Structure 1
């Protein structure tokens, strides 16, 4: 699919263009989207590549070109879906022992069973550990309301994407009915333009998602973050892709780095240290790390030193 889009849509637009006119190229990509209904991640790939080029030309990591806000950020453990409550609790113990600063659950998509798990996890770890829940758009409004009330009772930090994000009004009703803060506008189309509607409706009571994959690259994610900041809500960086390391260091109103935990035997992600912190990339551009099994055509773009 990507090769087809490059050949059919992007090649003629990009060849000969000024790669430092990122704003123009980002704007142009959205015009092409109107006609071709492009998958949002493809817009992000182009934008990330342009930022990477700029960093290499200026011999600076992208987060510094974006202004730079911090050099470390705490990581939370973002779980896969495990089979039993006992497995979730054991994974939580491992994550906390490894230094993670919080835990986010991806559970089973059954509102009542998930509510019991969320309350069991709170009882297990105690009141001082930040906990989050990601619904992965698995619920309708009645079940989202039920689960949201349970999360509020268990003092969860945020309640993420419980419903498909087609209906802002459904999220508005949810926000009016539960006290747990909502983190929304993750997979909805339109980048910051769509996030604005969630914020205006009062549905983003914790904040909105920002990330390179689903918000049109670094440019779209930064626009989303600045929009959210104007309304004094968070723009939580979504996912552990390498470009998102740079966003975490550049966005003032983000709280954590999301580190994926995919197995019941937890191994700390390579970018997370024993204090549960992620440190700013030091190489120029996006600074792809060594030893990721890149093809020969990409080897010249990876880091050559720490």
Structure 2
């Protein structure tokens, strides 16, 4: 029996970076968490402990800070592209670099004062190597809720089914969406805002008979509105809201009082894609 080394990579995770750009009395703020993973000719360090081809992960961290100073941050995708291309070009043993970014938004309160935005976070992942460059943008923690215009009935039942059918329910979710761009050059901020708005519109404008239907409608709306995007992967937890039984108190509950459930919850996942989109150059949904 032969034992061989399978796919592998290594890097620096969760590098926290805050970059202040001082434009006179007006300051601009970028707040990121950056992850780096490198793959390539690294068998020697795994099999023999030979570190001659290993760039220390501490060096990767330092590169993030140095690039933030030298080049600025601007859009998360642009920053990730610059880092990924650097590691592949600078290190002959590195064949592929994957750089992921979480970007936290801040609303301006004054020339140098800011307030952290709500629950959602912007994300991006850039993979650069011999197979090309792939850019994936996303959003996580985007909480959406419709108080009506949602039904759920006609589903499979068996001897363990207790869930009653409904023609009027609250539909709520916390959207985790990632979308793959067709190119590695785009107006990233405009594209992100347009994609986020399309997802929200798809949720708001859909009369829902299932969260699966809503997922497909949201993905379809995004691809319709944003021609620069090849496909989108959506993960939608069903944030259940249970009507409270007020009968013991002599009160009716006509869809007014609910218990917001925490767990367990339904989890709906799916990918919506253009049928003519080129294939991905890397596993972008991990």
Structure 2-normalised TM-score? 0.24
Q: Which protein has the larger Cα radius of gyration, Structure 1 or Structure 2?
A: 2
The TM-score, its normalising length taken from structure 1, stands at: 0.23
Structure ranking higher on relative contact order (CA contacts 8 Å, 6+ apart): 1
- Higher share of residues assigned strand: 2
Which structure has more helix as a fraction of its residues? 1
